[in-house]
Structure 1
């Protein structure tokens, strides 16, 4: 799966922000950096992208920092991944129909559709999980998300 440290750190930092924000008081990136052991300069890059996408807002000054621009229940994990220009996919073809993992292959590889569909399912799952869900550890089990498909597969066993 092609989710880098940048994506994981963005989600972690925003969950930290959701957990530690009190009365909409801004949280400094240095506090998040210390609590989550993420490089401050890396957080600055991430939060610039998140701010540009309207997920966080910033306040300047000695008591400044960042806060969520929306309620945690309205920020989906997929939005965070997209805001930092990452993708959740497991194919090497960069979303195009040609040029899969085999250089000798002039079209889609034989398993392209399988991996592309898995990538879609991962995206849809992350699109069903909010920051608030992660904060409260109320994640939808993948079995609930895919219940009808899993039930069909169980019949094959």
Structure 2
């Protein structure tokens, strides 16, 4: 599975943004401090998130970032796609050429896993995670009931 630090940090930062958005624009330095993610790394991630139209930047003294849509309308798959470009369990990048130009014997297995993961993450919104986090106060989050 190629879920890298980029994808994980992007999701973490977006959850932080959603949790702190009620007070207006959120500064990346505040997210950096709360989540222990370097500011320069966040700047790179938020550039991608802005291009994907998941966040908007506000300039000026009260500037920072806000969600481009309500947290109920942004799903985790969108965030990972913006940060990673693609989440793929296949060895060949879903091209089907992993065994000397042909699909390997496990290609369909990994393609099915890709679909299940994408379907799952597409059905988990930022709001779901914020709500679950508020309910559990840092305990294990269970999303198996979300569909």
Tell me which interval the TM-score lies in, with the shorter structure as reference length: 0.7 to 0.9
Select between 9-18 and 79-88 the one with higher mean Cα deviation.
79-88
Q: 1:86 deviation in Å?
A: 2.9
Match of 1:111 in 2: 106
Residue deviations 1:80-125 (CA, integer Å, cap 9, x gap): 1112243222111012011x2x5xx331111110111111100110
Q: Which residue of 2 aligns with 1:141?
A: 144
Determine if the alignment matches structure 1 residue 96 to structure 2 residue 91: no
Aligned to 1:40: 39
Q: Is the 8 A contact 1:7 1:86 kept in 2?
A: no
Query: What residue in structure 2 maps to residue 50 of structure 1?
Result: 49
- Within-5 A mapping of 1:58-69: 58-69=57-68
Q: Residue 77 of structure 1 contacts residue 131 of structure 1 at CA under 8 Å; is this kept in 2?
A: yes
2:138 is aligned to none
CA RMSD of aligned residues (A): 1.7
CA distance in 1, matches of 2:142, 2:72: 12
Displacement of 1:139 after TM fit? 5.3
User: SS of the residue aligned with 1:22?
Assistant: helix
Alignment partners' CA distance in 2, 1:117 and 1:90: 9
What SS class does the counterpart of residue 61 from structure 1 fall into? coil
1:127 to 97, 118, 122: 122
Q: Aligned partners of 2:71, 2:118: CA distance in 1, in Å?
A: 19
